[in-house]
Amino acid sequence: MSSPLKIVWFSNIPLDSAAGKAIYLQLADGIMNLIRRGKLQAEQKIPSTRELAEILNINRVTVTKAIVELQQQGWLESFVGRGTYISKHIPIQILPANHSLPRKKAAGTSPVELRANKLSANNYQVITTKLYLDDGYPDPTFAPLKDFYRAYRSQLTRSGLYTRFGAYSHPHGSVYYRKIIADYLNHTRGLNTTSENILSTRGTLMAIHLVCSTLIEPGDFIVSGIPGWNRAEQNFLHAKANHIGVPVDEHGIVVDEIRKLCHRRKIRMVYVTPHHHYPTTVPLRIDRRLELIQLANEYGFLIFEDDYDFDFHYSHRPLLPLASTDENGVVLYAGSFSKNFSPAFRIGYLAASESIIQQLSNYRILVDRQGDHILDNAMAELIQQGVLQRSIRKAVKVYKEKRDLFAELLSDKLGDTIQFTLPEGGMTIYTSFDPSIDLERLSAAALKKGLYISNGKIHQYQNYNTNSIRLGFASSTKSALTRSVNILHDLLLQK
């Protein structure tokens, strides 16, 4: 019979039939912990399966399964006629005998020394409130999910299993997707592309990262508007580039400032959101568009055109992108389906010269291999069948109505404390609050009332702060917009 002390150790192994984990695995883990604590030493004999079953008041078969599990993992060794022992390969004592088993350390407390980098904390917001005036997200009710389901399912049931599922394919995207995207961009945006000019991406952010990792060298100068998009700026810093911010006014990025910079240093790339500048939503005026293209040709820099919400322009037809007037391959044109389908589906593209696409593909294969060809092909089918285009037309009509209602609500309820210009397009109204209003406190107070709004920090810079935030209207119902503005009105009255 085993020693009384050993019996106590085994009898204290916790077993819970309601724990959702097999009893034999709980027993195996318990014995493993005894070994790790140093209670059981290498080459020490443990009680027989019959003894353990009696000690723990469980079935002997369960004990046998636990012993077999530990033997397979190398913790125990069994010998015919002699019994079962702690493996002789176990260190003499893994932990001191009086040491309790440590809890797993939380992520972020690794003992490995982390090297300092230039990236600030990339915070993000997961919205869980019922009311939200977000950063400009679409209304998911317009996403043709049933059509998408059918298109995706058809990809899974067609012939050619090996080429579809049994082997890797092109890192720059499926041939079908790139062909459809090229035709789509040529038809809707006035580009002149073929499938060889298209790279499939998982959204615009991936395109920015690929470009920064492939075409940007440490010390290169990248220019963008201030205020701008923090995610893009963080990619510039990650590439060890020198980021230079230039002003943005009511006509978009001030191109004259870019010309002045070109006289002083070699610019490698200019990042712009010309259709609706992020975050202010203002379009880049035609003369500045043409001048920026001229500067790129004259001084030999790249233009990264982030056209994140091309389809949503309400005063007239969408403005054609810079890429439509690019004759020398200086524009990298990026877009995604996050705004006109859903942010949940990471589907996008980058249009550029064949040589640049090849370089980006060579790098992309190291981080993502090829993307999701099945997902891309399903989206391509929706485009070819006109499903996506029809859903966009419906959304534009409703979004314009929401924009007009939201602007009216803001003027009526918050008119004395805010200023804004009615945007020609997009899904947000860039709203400036009176300097006396603490946006961080307002955001926190709204959250307690079940309303999400930004605290404005993401649009603040060292020498720039207009106390402004983006108030998204597209993703909310009209009644939700009314309730949201009423909450802000009541909170500002209490200020």
Q: What pLDDT, on a 0 to 100 scale, did the predictor assign at position 127?
A: 85
The mean-pLDDT minimum among 11-15, 116-120, 346-350, 491-495 falls in: 116-120
Whether residues 333 and 458 share a domain: the answer is: no
Q: Is the residue at 349 inside a domain? A: yes
| Whether residue 167 has pLDDT greater than 60 | no
State pLDDT tens for residues 60-109: 999 999 999 999 988 999 998 899 999 988 876 554 555 555 555 555 55
Where does a domain end: 385, 411, 435?
385
Whether residues 349 and 410 share a domain: the answer is: no
Q: Within 13 Å and on the Cβ side, how many CA atoms surround 173? A: 32
Tokens of 399: 């979004």
Whether residues 275 and 356 share a domain: the answer is: yes
Whether residues 342 and 470 share a domain: the answer is: no
| Owning domain of residue 444 | 131-135+391-493
Where does a domain end: 86, 103, 122?
86
| Strands of 242-249's sheet in order across | 198-201, 348-351, 331-336, 302-306, 267-272, 221-226, 242-249, 252-253
Alpha carbon distance 433, 412 (integer Å): 15
Whether residues 61 and 201 share a domain: the answer is: no
Whether residues 330 and 445 share a domain: the answer is: no
Q: Look up the CATH number of the domain holding residue 69.
A: 1.10.10.10
Q: Is the residue at 169 inside a domain? A: yes
Instruction: Give the closest residue to 471 by CA, choosing from 451, 491, 445, 449.
Output: 451
* Local confidence band at 18 (pLDDT 50, 70, 90 cut-offs): confident
Q: Is the residue at 401 inside a domain? A: yes
Q: Is the residue at 119 inside a domain? A: no
Residues above pLDDT 90, as percent of the chain = 68
Q: What pLDDT, on a 0 to 100 scale, did the predictor assign at position 325?
A: 92
Q: Is the residue at 372 inside a domain? A: yes
Q: What pLDDT, on a 0 to 100 scale, did the predictor assign at position 113?
A: 66
Domain count of the fold of the chain:
3
* Local confidence band at 147 (pLDDT 50, 70, 90 cut-offs): very high
Alpha carbon distance 357, 197 (integer Å): 6
Q: Report the predicted TM-score, pTM, of the whole model to 2 decimal places.
A: 0.81
Q: Is the residue at 440 inside a domain? A: yes
Q: Look up the CATH number of the domain holding residue 407.
A: 3.90.1150.10
State pLDDT tens for residues 217-264: 999 999 999 999 999 999 999 999 999 999 999 999 999 999 999 999
Q: Is the residue at 366 inside a domain? A: yes
Confirm if 138 and 428 have CB atoms less than 8 A apart.
no
Whether residues 36 and 172 share a domain: the answer is: no
Q: Is the residue at 110 inside a domain? A: no
State pLDDT tens for residues 432-489: 999 999 999 999 999 999 999 999 998 999 888 889 999 999 999 999 999 999 999 9
* Local confidence band at 319 (pLDDT 50, 70, 90 cut-offs): confident
Q: What pLDDT, on a 0 to 100 scale, did the predictor assign at position 92?
A: 61
Where does a domain end: 385, 418, 440?
385
Tokens of 77: 């060794």
Q: What pLDDT, on a 0 to 100 scale, did the predictor assign at position 494?
A: 81
* Local confidence band at 180 (pLDDT 50, 70, 90 cut-offs): very high
Whether residues 366 and 264 share a domain: the answer is: yes
Whether residues 163 and 241 share a domain: the answer is: yes
Q: What pLDDT, on a 0 to 100 scale, did the predictor assign at position 156?
A: 84
Whether residues 446 and 480 share a domain: the answer is: yes
Average pLDDT of the chain? 89
Alpha carbon distance 52, 63 (integer Å): 7
Whether residues 196 and 264 share a domain: the answer is: yes
Tell me: cis bond preceding 318? Omega within 30 of 0 counts. Answer: no
Alpha carbon distance 475, 428 (integer Å): 10
Whether residues 396 and 372 share a domain: the answer is: no
